[in-house]
Amino acid sequence: MGKLTKSQIDRVKKYKCEVCLKDIPIEYYFTPGDSITCTGCGTEYLLQSKSPLELVMQTIDYSKMDYDGSY
Protein backbone atom coordinates (compact mmCIF):
# COMPACT_ATOMS: atom_id res chain seq x y z
CA MET A 1 0.00 0.00 0.00
CA GLY A 2 1.31 3.44 -0.89
CA LYS A 3 2.02 6.28 1.45
CA LEU A 4 -0.70 8.79 2.24
CA THR A 5 -0.21 12.34 1.03
CA LYS A 6 -0.69 15.28 3.38
CA SER A 7 -4.05 16.14 1.78
CA GLN A 8 -5.28 12.57 2.35
CA ILE A 9 -4.17 12.63 5.98
CA ASP A 10 -5.91 15.99 6.55
CA ARG A 11 -9.19 14.58 5.20
CA VAL A 12 -9.41 12.03 8.03
CA LYS A 13 -10.99 13.58 11.12
CA LYS A 14 -11.16 11.90 14.51
CA TYR A 15 -14.04 11.70 16.98
CA LYS A 16 -13.56 10.43 20.53
CA CYS A 17 -15.99 7.66 21.51
CA GLU A 18 -18.15 8.69 24.47
CA VAL A 19 -18.07 5.16 25.93
CA CYS A 20 -14.48 3.86 25.60
CA LEU A 21 -12.72 7.17 24.70
CA LYS A 22 -11.01 5.61 21.65
CA ASP A 23 -10.51 7.79 18.56
CA ILE A 24 -12.92 6.94 15.73
CA PRO A 25 -11.56 7.90 12.30
CA ILE A 26 -14.11 9.78 10.19
CA GLU A 27 -13.00 9.23 6.59
CA TYR A 28 -13.47 11.89 3.92
CA TYR A 29 -16.01 9.80 2.00
CA PHE A 30 -18.51 9.53 4.89
CA THR A 31 -21.62 11.66 4.39
CA PRO A 32 -24.18 12.98 6.89
CA GLY A 33 -26.62 10.20 7.71
CA ASP A 34 -23.98 7.44 7.65
CA SER A 35 -23.78 5.04 10.58
CA ILE A 36 -20.30 4.71 12.11
CA THR A 37 -19.32 2.00 14.61
CA CYS A 38 -16.56 2.37 17.22
CA THR A 39 -13.97 -0.36 16.75
CA GLY A 40 -13.17 -0.33 20.46
CA CYS A 41 -16.57 -1.03 22.01
CA GLY A 42 -19.06 -1.37 19.15
CA THR A 43 -21.09 1.74 19.99
CA GLU A 44 -22.94 3.03 16.93
CA TYR A 45 -23.02 6.71 15.99
CA LEU A 46 -24.93 8.62 13.33
CA LEU A 47 -22.95 11.28 11.45
CA GLN A 48 -24.99 14.51 11.69
CA SER A 49 -22.49 16.99 10.26
CA LYS A 50 -18.90 17.01 8.99
CA SER A 51 -18.18 20.69 9.53
CA PRO A 52 -18.27 21.05 12.47
CA LEU A 53 -17.88 17.34 13.17
CA GLU A 54 -21.01 16.15 14.95
CA LEU A 55 -21.95 12.56 15.77
CA VAL A 56 -24.98 11.37 17.74
CA MET A 57 -24.93 8.10 19.69
CA GLN A 58 -27.66 5.77 18.48
CA THR A 59 -29.92 4.38 21.16
CA ILE A 60 -31.08 0.78 21.34
CA ASP A 61 -34.80 0.24 21.83
CA TYR A 62 -34.83 -2.59 24.36
CA SER A 63 -38.63 -2.65 24.50
CA LYS A 64 -38.80 -4.36 21.10
CA MET A 65 -36.39 -7.15 22.04
CA ASP A 66 -37.71 -10.61 22.82
CA TYR A 67 -36.10 -11.72 26.08
CA ASP A 68 -38.11 -14.96 26.29
CA GLY A 69 -36.87 -16.38 23.00
CA SER A 70 -34.85 -19.57 22.87
CA TYR A 71 -31.08 -19.32 22.74
Domain map (residue ranges) of the chain: 10-58
Q: Is the pLDDT of residue 44 over 90?
A: yes
Rounded distance between C-alpha atoms, residue 42 and residue 58, angstroms? 11
Task: Tell which residue, 23, 64, 19, 61, has the closest CA to residue 41.
Answer: 19
Mean pLDDT estimate for the chain: 83
Q: Does domain 10-58 have CATH number 2.20.28.160?
A: yes
Which of the two residues, 7 and 46, has the higher pLDDT score?
Answer: 46
Q: What is the pTM of this model?
A: 0.68
